[in-house]
Amino acid sequence: MGPSELFNADDLVLGFDPADKWEAIHSLVDHLVGRGRLAPDAAEPVREAVLARERSMSTGMELGVAIPHAAVDDLPEIVGAMGVVQREGGLDFESIDGQPTRVVVLLVIPKAQKLLHIRTLADIARVLAKESVRERLLGTADVEEARAALIAGTT
């Protein structure tokens, strides 16, 4: 599942400004609950699963992208939210290239759908590896424009 199918405009948080990666994860889980994408009683189990995954190994990738994620039980479908850190200097996410993170994608995937998990991570990484997509995300204050950048990146 690529970003164009996964994210509605309301799933994108522009001007995302967490203090650290832990706050980023908390904020994006709260965003999913606030949008009705996650049930309120699922928030804590999801948050703990994502935090446990992050403690085991950083999900900070390359090119300013981090994809904190977890597979959880009792989730009917994959859900995600994206925070775009537009402030100068980005966010320290302990990325493998040592560069600051500018795009944080939270993915929560049903545990029973392991293949979807792997494919979705790969699809999102492929789209966000495109410099043109990242530049458009960082340069807009409009969530519809940000979503359009993701859609354009899939072609």
User: Any residues with CB less than 8 A from the CB of 148 and at least 6 apart, and which?
Assistant: 136
**SS3 of 143, please?**
helix
Asked if 77 and 109 count as a contact pair (C-beta separation under 8 A), the reply is: no
Q: Report the 10 Å Cβ neighbour count for 60.
A: 24
Task: Report the relative pairing of strands 65-66 and 69-72 from DSSP bridges.
Answer: unpaired
H/E stretch holding 3 = helix 3-6
The radius of gyration of the chain from alpha carbons, rounded to an integer in Å, stands at 14
Q: Which residues are catalytic?
A: 69
Under DSSP, the state recorded for 103 is: E
d(CA 113, CA 69): 14
